Structure 1
Amino acid sequence: NRHQDFAYVGNAVPNSQQWRDAKRLKDAGMTIIRAAHYPQDPAFMDACDELGLFIIVPTPGWQYWNKDPKFGELVHENTRQIIRRDRNHTSVLMWEPILNETRYPEDFALKALDITHEEFPYPGRPVAAADMNSAGVKDNYDVLYGWTDDIGKEGTPENKCIFTREFGEMVDDWYAHNCLNRAARSWGEKPMLTAALSLSDTYGEMFHGQRQFIGGCQWHPFDHQRGYHPDPYYGGIYDAFRQKKYAFEMFRSQDRTQEPMVFVANEMTQFSDEDVVVFSNCDSVRLTQFEGDKVLTLPVVHDAGDKPCAPVVFKGFWNFWKAREYSYKQRNWQRVSLLAEGIKDGKVVCSEKKMPSRRSTKIRLYADEMGRKLTADGSDFIVVVAEITDDNGNVKRLAKDNIMFSIEGEGRIIGDETIFANPRAVEWGSAPILVQATDKPGSITIHARSAFSGVYAPAEATLTIESVAAEMPKCFTDEPSAKTVRTASASAAASQQMTDEERQRTLEEVNRQQMDFGIQ
């Protein structure tokens, strides 16, 4: 499932980042994207056409029904319009012509299905999907949203395909929103690993070789603001700046047809688990501790009825005290490492070596272009990341620096100190910023230094990137918008629109709807 929300800019995502988001999902091994719950930018649809991703296109709407007949008519009109807009995209797999997680009458569901067939007239092809427990859906829609648990239950049609529209959410309740799979990247190794392993288990439980079950979409790839809850959504396999979490590597490892990969989900800090988890799509993984102290090869379990590539767990392979002995007593810190090698058909085909970071001495800058250059159209932006490293380039995951950025040339930094964008606190070893192009192509030089300079601060860094000319002429004036700061009192006043009783009733209704529509 995908929201087109990005750090700082919200829904104002340029075309290049729409393409990069599609590429990020492709790189993670995803095949089907559900466009939740509104029309995605046409640039995202174009990117999915280009990259070979399927899309489920829903009618806009979520958890709201108005009994006035005019409301249903407007929803149906939305359905016609979105099908007409997107039906010539080769990426469209099917349509979701109803309202997400909403109780609606049977005649509404049947009319929505008729409209879908009218606007997308291809007999014999599944074209419409909806929640199987909603009125009018089970007996009439082509694909039913449900779970593998629904297969074989009384009332579940045997001739219909089952698809899970949202999997991965293990929320305690719909007020607190604490969830096993929601792990902010800044929380570090243990939460991210817990989330990745939980998603791995859920992913495996969904696939039991059932022919009737055809797949599902994980909620959600990118951290984002939600509006209806004070906490951001932290369950992404990327954070809001599109920095990867461990769950990204877990999903990437599930595709055995792609390039061989191995990822060590252990940062070798003083707080890291002794057990070392490795994600890989190879036949087996060989892990070497401290350049030969311990060597073990374990299989990557491939189960057609479960996880295609189960995580590999090496028991007791990280020992801080053993590492300390080499570093402190023997002055041989170079030996402290973990080397994971992916083996396929008896040969080592990929590897990853990890070492614990020593003293923070450097800042390393990189631009997250993903093969698509920054366009000088006054709107486009890319993410530039500053990492804190030791002398050998190992990222200091537990660094607590603040990075001050400055820029020269044909670019500007989105955001400032009022939203903590610049200077930017380092979280899990890195500090990202958004660099936006002007309307003139040319060089952009980014400087990064510690906000608190001194002899022992990490050495500053400089990165120069080039923006390219826009293919289309601009139709706006290239002037950044003025700052608008909403005061705390204004925010408080806006939040008092509901009484406590009204809020409680609304929360209870949301909870009932989540249960009705099979959110597990």
Structure 2
Amino acid sequence: MKQVIVLVLLFIASNLVAQNKILEPEYSVAGFFEVPNSGREVFDFNVGWHFYKGAIKGAEAVDFDDSNWDVVTTPHGLELNSTQASGNNHYQGEAWYRKHFTIPEGIGQKKMFIHFEAIMGKSKVWLNGELLAEHFGGYLPFGIDISSKVKKGEKNILSVWADNSDDPNYAPGKPNKRMDFNYFGGIYRDVWLVTTSNTYITNPNYVNKTAGGGLAVHYQNLSEKQVDVIVQADIANDESSINSVLVLYTLKSKDGRVLAKKLEKASIPASSSKQVKTTLKLKQPELWSPKNPYLHNLEVSILTKNKVILDGVKQKIGIRKIEFRGKDGFYLNNKAYEEKLIGSNRHQDYGYIGNALPNSGQWRDAIILKEAGCNVVRAAHYPADPAFMDACDELGLFFIEATPGWQFWNKTNPLFEQRIYEDIKNMVRRDRNRASVLMWEPVLNETRYSESFAKNAHDLVHTEVPGGNAFTVCDGHAIGNKYYDVLYSHPFKRGFYNRLVPNTPENNKADALNYDDEDRCFFTREWGDCVDDWGAQNSPSRCARRWGENAQMVQAIHYANPPYRYTSLEALANTPRQHIGGTLWHGFDHQRGGQPEPFYGGLTDVFRQTKYSYQLFKSQLKPNDDEPFIYIANEMTPFSPSDIPVFTNCEEVRLIKYQRDTLSIRPDREKFKMNSPIAIFKDEFYFADLKNLNRSGKKKFAYLEAQGLIDGEVVVSTKRVPSSRTKKVKLELAHKNISLVANGSDIITIIASVVDENGVVERLNNDVIKFEIEGEGKIIGDQTIMANPVKIHWGTAPLLIQSTTQSGEIKIKASVLEEGINNISRGEISFSSIPARVPLVFTDNPKVKQGLQDKEGNSAESSTVDELKNKVLLLEKELNEIKLKKVDKQQEVFEGGGEH
């Protein structure tokens, strides 16, 4: 037993070290990771776009005057939105972006590509007045070869017209006002400038090659002893003569050790391209899995005969084998996967900025879901940002990738269907090498399409993935489902019920899915939502965080194991191996076009502040896979419920009340199949008990302590203390240990909490917080979207900070809107942004007001004067608190010595 406890404690210690380590994620750029000194250079093209929201004639012309336009940085979502940006109230229409730039010195006669990760809607791109590209669809990348068009040593102008208006001729196609999410708009993902030699490895999204372009990797003969890594590379030669080159394939460990290498000759025809292929044999491979997401570095370089490098790219590959064995369930790396795949759906929608979430935010989303115990994420309802996919590979999150689409099919224009096929091709070509991709969902979500389309979409995925380790999924009741590898279904015969019946074994068995009728595996794509009707859309799952603990607890119980028959963690845990898991609808709250209010069913709000249901999910992690966890879901306020729920992944929960009463619950794991049922101590909290303790001089005993036990030993504990008199504003970085990068695009969230003198959050506070800033950052949003000042909800208020292009210190100050001698004291936090690793190309820099800014964005008083005023106010507060303590004593006397 001592050895087990020591191992658990060592795990906790090592995990805490990992959690406290500052991360600097490596982001893929235009489909690849960088290989140093490879001849390929990548430049950040996000900064310095002149922007105009609206229709305007002639903006593509070189001599067009854009001097009065705003200067913005991409990712950019056309506008900032309040947290109530639902009901189709965001802008739809035309918008223009113009970037003035000069090609960096030293590029010479290199090939040059502009890579757009995504532009919402339809778009056109001009360089120096010449139309070079037209694109339809808002979720996938496209590139433009500007090599022969760009002016070297002179100023160039790249003009982009973007239109997010409703358009039924490409997917999703449905009007935003009837959507269950928002399109938003703009150049909302990254833009890159990529330069290469004239002989180079292509990008799979630029060249139209079936199962080709770029790098394509698959595995054969995989075991724990060895694996064959099959690498296919597409090499272009834009020279006028044949080019005989050497192709170097190198497989490296995570720490850079060479594990396998091969050098082969290749002749690339003039003004053409050629796909080359090799096999790297690897002994004792480190196999990828959610618990061990080990990524190898695969580098492919092109060299001259004299071994001068011409081009080189890297992809991070997770060596793994996926199998769906029907009634035997899901197999990973030739072994039965013993756990259910449980996770959530995800939109990338974020507070204020909509879809324009930078790479660090994409990574933080993945970390948040991973820390919640998720091991799978389903795309809702479009391919995710490449940075999110990078994080899924790195962190060990399976991903179900979906083509854009939601409840719409254009029957009158065949171009709509053809463009979906293009989306499927580009989606698969972009992400076919990723370890995290579990299944492909090439059909449009909840859409009535033809059987021929269903078959074509399935076939297209398998055609585009070399090696065959690809699996498609669609609804089990959908037309054409017979072609698909895995089926979506609830564990019951119906997903939504018009009548809820008690959650009993008899009722569940009577309505259970008939697994005998199907040999394929099942997965539940969306579970948890439970609306009364699709007009009102009230549901026990839809709970705004600010509604407090009672509402949050209703949501958590509904997701865990409700008293009525419904798909839940418990229901999924009771399914046979053939049913491999399910994803909650939804991981995060998000905006919607078709409803007047946001969707509130997330584990977090739009700023990723957690609800009780997040703690529920986190408690499902087994303590041998993660650290022991325990959380008390009762805030001990005058309005808190009498029950004391505790979320934990331990075998037993011990609750100590006020240092006098000890209670214990050991969940019945024979009755319940979910990893960790909620431990609810019934009728154990009464606010009157706190008053009695306070008035009898025993305030120090007024707390709850929950202890988690494994094998009879306490391995984790937590305390819940009621909040006292609100004292100050506390500021914290919600950065998940990812630094703010000084690239002009990066964003970090800061959470302001109102706390008492012991740091306990006052949940019932209704103050309004104003923020001020100085240094190398700017506040996102103002009073027009209720971002600054911002009202406290459930004890906290969020703030978004965007970096400048200069690294340095940033200082944030937060105070209540109207300060007074008895108000809450202000809070302050300082941190620094770090230099960007990718060089920036820009001429015009967005204006940032330096020094402190007040709530209107005007220059505030100097920092020195402000600090002196604050010191005087603090002294006044301290003196007044001494006097207030005398008042407290007087009130006790007036009410009769406190014996009421």
Q: Which of the residues 512, 530, 534 maps onto 1:174? A: 534
Secondary structure in 2 matching 1:321:
helix
C-alpha contact 1:4 1:13 (8 A) present in aligned 2 = yes
Shift of 1:41: 0.8
1:76-103 deviation line (CA, Å, top 9, x unaligned) = 1211111011111111111001010001
CA distance in 2, matches of 1:25, 1:283: 24
Structure (1 or 2) with the greater strand fraction = 2
1:153-202 deviation line (CA, Å, top 9, x unaligned) = 57974211010000110111221121111111110010011101110111
C-alpha contact 1:200 1:250 (8 A) present in aligned 2 = yes
Q: Does 1:276 align with 2:641?
A: no
CA distance in 2, matches of 1:191, 1:305: 24
Shift of 1:258: 1.4
Counting only pairs closer than 5 Å after superposition, residues 228-247 of structure 1 correspond to structure 2 as: 228-247=594-613
CA distance in 1, matches of 2:740, 2:544: 28
CA RMSD of aligned residues (A): 1.7
Shift of 1:121: 4.0
Q: What code does the residue aligned with 1:143 have? A: V
CA distance in 2, matches of 1:298, 1:345: 14
Shift of 1:332: 2.6
Cα 1:209–1:145 change in 2 (3 A) is: closer
CA distance in 2, matches of 1:90, 1:155: 29
CA distance in 2, matches of 1:203, 1:149: 13
1:82 maps to which residue? 427
Secondary structure in 1 matching 2:840:
coil
2:663 maps to which residue? 296
1:35 maps to which residue? 379
CA distance in 2, matches of 1:121, 1:208: 36
2:405 maps to which residue? 61
C-alpha contact 1:281 1:300 (8 A) present in aligned 2 = no
C-alpha contact 1:301 1:308 (8 A) present in aligned 2 = no
Secondary structure in 1 matching 2:602:
coil
Counting only pairs closer than 5 Å after superposition, residues 503-514 of structure 1 correspond to structure 2 as: none
Q: Does 1:263 align with 2:623?
A: no
Identity of aligned residues (%): 45
1:430-465 deviation line (CA, Å, top 9, x unaligned) = 111101111111100000111111111111111001
CA distance in 2, matches of 1:213, 1:81: 30
C-alpha contact 1:126 1:142 (8 A) present in aligned 2 = no
Q: Does 1:415 align with 2:781?
A: yes
Shift of 1:71: 1.9
Q: Does 1:12 align with 2:12?
A: no
Counting only pairs closer than 5 Å after superposition, residues 104-253 of structure 1 correspond to structure 2 as: 104-123=449-468, 125=469, 127-137=471-481, 139-150=482-493, 157-201=517-561, 202-253=568-619
1:479 maps to which residue? 846
Secondary structure in 2 matching 1:37:
coil
Q: What code does the residue aligned with 1:3 have? A: H
Q: Which of the residues 646, 669, 674 maps onto 1:307? A: 674
Q: Does 1:324 align with 2:691?
A: yes
Q: What code does the residue aligned with 2:438 have? A: L
1:1-34 deviation line (CA, Å, top 9, x unaligned) = 1100110000000000101100001000001111
2:443 maps to which residue? 98
Bigger Rg, structure 1 or 2: 2
CA distance in 1, matches of 2:369, 2:763: 25
C-alpha contact 1:362 1:388 (8 A) present in aligned 2 = yes
1:392 maps to which residue? 758
Secondary structure in 1 matching 2:539:
coil
1:491 maps to which residue? none
C-alpha contact 1:268 1:355 (8 A) present in aligned 2 = yes
CA distance in 1, matches of 2:530, 2:597: 16
Q: What code does the residue aligned with 1:58 have? A: A
CA distance in 2, matches of 1:249, 1:395: 17
2:394 maps to which residue? 50
Shift of 1:396: 0.4
**Structure 1 unpaired stretches of 5+:** 483-520
Cα 1:89–1:478 change in 2 (3 A) is: farther
2:729 maps to which residue? 363
Q: What code does the residue aligned with 2:473 have? A: A
CA distance in 2, matches of 1:445, 1:475: 27
Structure (1 or 2) with the greater helix fraction = 1
CA distance in 2, matches of 1:155, 1:203: 19
C-alpha contact 2:461 2:470 (8 A) present in aligned 1 = no
Counting only pairs closer than 5 Å after superposition, residues 318-357 of structure 1 correspond to structure 2 as: 318-327=685-694, 329-357=695-723
Cα 1:470–1:335 change in 2 (3 A) is: same
C-alpha contact 1:300 1:310 (8 A) present in aligned 2 = yes
1:313-348 deviation line (CA, Å, top 9, x unaligned) = 112221111111111x31332211100011112211
**Structure 2 unpaired stretches of 5+:** 1-344, 494-510, 562-567, 850-900
TM-score of the superposed pair, with normalisation by structure 2: 0.52
2:833 maps to which residue? 467
Bigger mean CA offset, 296-305 vs 453-462: 296-305
CA distance in 2, matches of 1:305, 1:361: 44
CA distance in 2, matches of 1:296, 1:345: 17
Cα 1:322–1:82 change in 2 (3 A) is: same
Shift of 1:303: 5.1
CA distance in 2, matches of 1:154, 1:426: 49
Secondary structure in 1 matching 2:483:
coil
Q: Where has structure 1 moved over 4 Å in runs of 4 or more?
A: 150-157
TM-score of the superposed pair, with normalisation by structure 1: 0.89
Cα 1:357–1:276 change in 2 (3 A) is: same
Cα 1:376–1:303 change in 2 (3 A) is: farther
Secondary structure in 2 matching 1:149:
coil
Cα 1:315–1:155 change in 2 (3 A) is: closer
| Paired residue total | 478
Secondary structure in 2 matching 1:244:
coil
CA distance in 1, matches of 2:591, 2:809: 33
Cα 1:440–1:324 change in 2 (3 A) is: same
Q: Does 1:449 align with 2:815?
A: yes
Cα 1:134–1:156 change in 2 (3 A) is: farther
Q: What code does the residue aligned with 1:197 have? A: I
Cα 1:455–1:87 change in 2 (3 A) is: same
Secondary structure in 2 matching 1:279:
strand
Secondary structure in 2 matching 1:193:
helix
Q: What code does the residue aligned with 1:179 have? A: S
Bigger mean CA offset, 151-160 vs 392-401: 151-160
CA distance in 1, matches of 2:406, 2:832: 42
1:498 maps to which residue? none
Cα 1:232–1:153 change in 2 (3 A) is: closer
1:280-326 deviation line (CA, Å, top 9, x unaligned) = 0001011011111x111111343596321100011222111111111
Secondary structure in 1 matching 2:613:
helix
Counting only pairs closer than 5 Å after superposition, residues 420-439 of structure 1 correspond to structure 2 as: 420-439=786-805
Cα 1:252–1:345 change in 2 (3 A) is: same
CA distance in 2, matches of 1:37, 1:316: 43
